[in-house]
């Protein structure tokens, strides 16, 4: 590129064009009149090799910064991914533990429910048996009371009759009572 620059400067036409491009009109804010345009030569342009080298250096620097940023982001994403995997594993363990506990609780509840139902069934059977037994005892007591009342009634009737007959036969009242009770029992068992 230096050769190209020197070749341009050696050619009169090209040199004029380059010099014309390197000069520009500027307004100088001080002096006799502020509106007078004056020409001033601009700073000499950088050599093309230096400009390209600086551009390459800037590009390399930006690329290295981007690579460093990407590495930092990659490291952050890797750590976040590891944390997510750890949380996923912890959640899976928690779900497995909860499932195991629920299964054990369901089995225990089923066993307790069955035992309770069996106990209630046995208790219900015992209550029904006791109820039936109580009904039979109640009937037996009622029947005995009725028999006793009948016995007393027939005894009273027979005693009355014995009192009348004792006057005739001369037997005592107690013997008449015994005979009346005996006759009543015999008549009941005949029925």
Is residue 159 situated within a structural domain?
Answer: yes
Evaluate if residue 50 carries a pLDDT over 80: no
Is residue 105 situated within a structural domain?
Answer: no
Evaluate if residue 146 carries a pLDDT over 60: yes
Is residue 154 situated within a structural domain?
Answer: yes
**Structural domains in the chain (count):** 2
Greater confidence (59 vs 181) lies with 59
- For strand 37-41 and strand 23-27, is the pairing parallel, antiparallel, or unpaired? antiparallel
Is residue 26 situated within a structural domain?
Answer: yes
Residue-range definition of the domain harbouring residue 173: 147-190
- The pTM of the full predicted model, rounded to 2 decimals, is 0.33
Is residue 7 situated within a structural domain?
Answer: yes
Is residue 140 situated within a structural domain?
Answer: no
Position 151 confidence tier, pLDDT thresholds 50, 70, 90 = confident
Residue 69, pLDDT score: 92
């Amino acid at each position: 590129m230096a050769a190209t620059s020197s070749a341009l400067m050696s050619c009169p036409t090209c040199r004029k064009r380059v010099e014309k491009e390197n000069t520009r009109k500027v307004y100088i804010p001080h002096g006799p009149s502020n509106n007078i345009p004056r020409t001033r030569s601009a700073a000499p342009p950088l050599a093309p090799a230096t400009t390209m080298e600086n551009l390459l250096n800037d590009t390399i620097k930006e690329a290295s910064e981007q690579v460093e940023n990407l590495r930092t982001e990659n490291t952050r994403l890797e750590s976040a991914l590891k944390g997510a995997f750890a949380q996923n594993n912890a959640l899976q363990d928690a779900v497995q533990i909860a499932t195991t506990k629920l299964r054990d609780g369901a089995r225990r509840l089923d066993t307790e429910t069955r035992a309770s139902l069996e106990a209630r069934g046995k208790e219900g059977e015992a209550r029904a048996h006791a109820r039936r037994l109580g009904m039979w005892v109640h009937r037996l007591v009622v029947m005995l009371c009725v028999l006793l009342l009948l016995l007393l009634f027939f005894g009273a009737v027979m005693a009355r009759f014995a009192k009348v007959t004792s006057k005739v036969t001369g037997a005592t009242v107690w013997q008449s009572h015994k005979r009346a009770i005996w006759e009543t029992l015999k008549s009941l068992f005949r029925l």
